[in-house]
Structure 1
Amino acid sequence: MKPSYRLRQVANALNLSTALGLLLAVTAARGPRGVRRGPDGLLVAGGYRPPFPVASVFTVGNVVLLRGDASRLADGSRLMRHEARHATQYAWCLGLPMIPLYGVCAAASMLLCGDWASFNPFERRAGLADGGYERRPLRPFLRRLGGGAPEPPGPA
């Protein structure tokens, strides 16, 4: 494993975000038997059942949780790379503070363009297309207020 992935793994263990991800995997997914090793120090847990969050795949610490069978998320897929970037974001955000920060950014994106991802910097930095998101423009009245100013730069 690359040193950067090992550092991410240790940081997310120390900041307790991976512990929360495992707790969710055990209580809200298929239990400890449903957790498998993924690439680069990640863990993958299938069978997540609660309605929140609405995403079909999401990451908490170094744990990638998904609805349905964990084997459907291929280790080298674009979606897995997207989720791995979120694991790195947990390390940079010092763990659990990422959850409310992500929520605020998702709500702001919803207000700006009508979806949770397009103007959410966490999703943009993880790669919108890799996560299966389509980049949407600002709402029309906001484009008019901005005088036709271009959209902010950043990963699409």
Structure 2
Amino acid sequence: METWPKMRRVLNYVNLSTPLGLAVSVVGGARRLPGPDGLVLAVGYRFPFPIAGAFTVGNVVLTKHDTAYLAQGNLLKHEARHATQWAACLGLPMLPLYVLSLGVSYAVCGDLASWNPFERLAVLEDGFYQRRSPRWARKSDSAADS
């Protein structure tokens, strides 16, 4: 494992985000497996929330799917970027910041991910999200068509 993933793994344990992710995986009935770059893959998560196909808490990537789902495209790279965001936000402050970002994105374009800076920095398309234009741009486009 390279230096940064090792450092990220330590930071996310110390800032308590990985222990939180492990607790969420236990409560959600997920099976934990070692993943690349110090990630823990928690597959078979049973709760319908959050609605994303996969989500990350600390270094724990949780999904209701199996490991084949996580192997699609660049999804694990996307989730690894979220693990880095947990380290950069010093752990638990990531939760309110992410929730605030969901609200901002919804206000801007009616979608929870498209204008969420955390999702944009993790590369939207790698997480199977679409880029959507802001509401005001769509209104002006349709007004110009009239």
Question: What TM-score does the superposition give when structure 2 sets the normalisation length?
Answer: 0.90
**Aligned counterpart in structure 1 of residue 52 of structure 2, from 47, 52, 55:** 55
User: In the TM superposition, what whole-angstrom CA distance separates every residue of 1:122-152 from its partner, at most 9, and x where no partner exists?
Assistant: 00000011011110000037875xxxxxxxx
Partner of residue 78, structure 1: 74
Partner of residue 143, structure 2: none
Residue 54 of structure 1 deviates from its aligned partner by 1.1
Aligned to 1:106, what secondary structure does the other structure show? helix
Whole-Å Cα distance in 2 between the matches of residues 102 and 48 of structure 1?
21
Structure 1 unmatched runs, 5+: 145-156
Q: Bigger CA drift: 42-51 or 133-142? A: 133-142
Structure 2 unmatched runs, 5+: 141-146
Matches within 5 A, 1:37-52: 37-52=34-49
Question: What TM-score does the superposition give when structure 1 sets the normalisation length?
Answer: 0.84
User: In the TM superposition, what whole-angstrom CA distance separates every residue of 1:11-34 from its partner, at most 9, and x where no partner exists?
Assistant: 00000000010001111133xxx1
Partner of residue 98, structure 2: 102
Residue pair 1:79, 1:130 contacting (<8 A) in 2 also: yes
Partner of residue 120, structure 1: 116
Whole-Å Cα distance in 2 between the matches of residues 62 and 10 of structure 1?
10
Q: Bigger CA drift: 104-113 or 65-74? A: 65-74
Q: Which amino acid aligns with 2:77?
A: R
Whole-Å Cα distance in 1 between the matches of residues 89 and 139 of structure 2?
31
Q: Which amino acid aligns with 1:47?
A: G
Equivalent residue pairs, number: 140
**Aligned counterpart in structure 1 of residue 128 of structure 2, from 118, 128, 132:** 132
Partner of residue 62, structure 2: 65
Whole-Å Cα distance in 2 between the matches of residues 41 and 141 of structure 1?
41
Q: Which amino acid aligns with 1:43?
A: V
Whole-Å Cα distance in 2 between the matches of residues 130 and 96 of structure 1?
24
Aligned to 1:115, what secondary structure does the other structure show? coil
Whole-Å Cα distance in 2 between the matches of residues 77 and 140 of structure 1?
32
Whole-Å Cα distance in 2 between the matches of residues 92 and 143 of structure 1?
36
Whole-Å Cα distance in 2 between the matches of residues 59 and 85 of structure 1?
9
Which stretches of structure 1, 4 residues or more, deviate above 4 A after TM superposition?
141-144
User: In the TM superposition, what whole-angstrom CA distance separates every residue of 1:26-73 from its partner, at most 9, and x where no partner exists?
Assistant: 11133xxx1101000000001112222111200000000001223432
Partner of residue 88, structure 1: 84
Aligned to 1:96, what secondary structure does the other structure show? coil
Which of the pair is proportionally richer in helix? 2
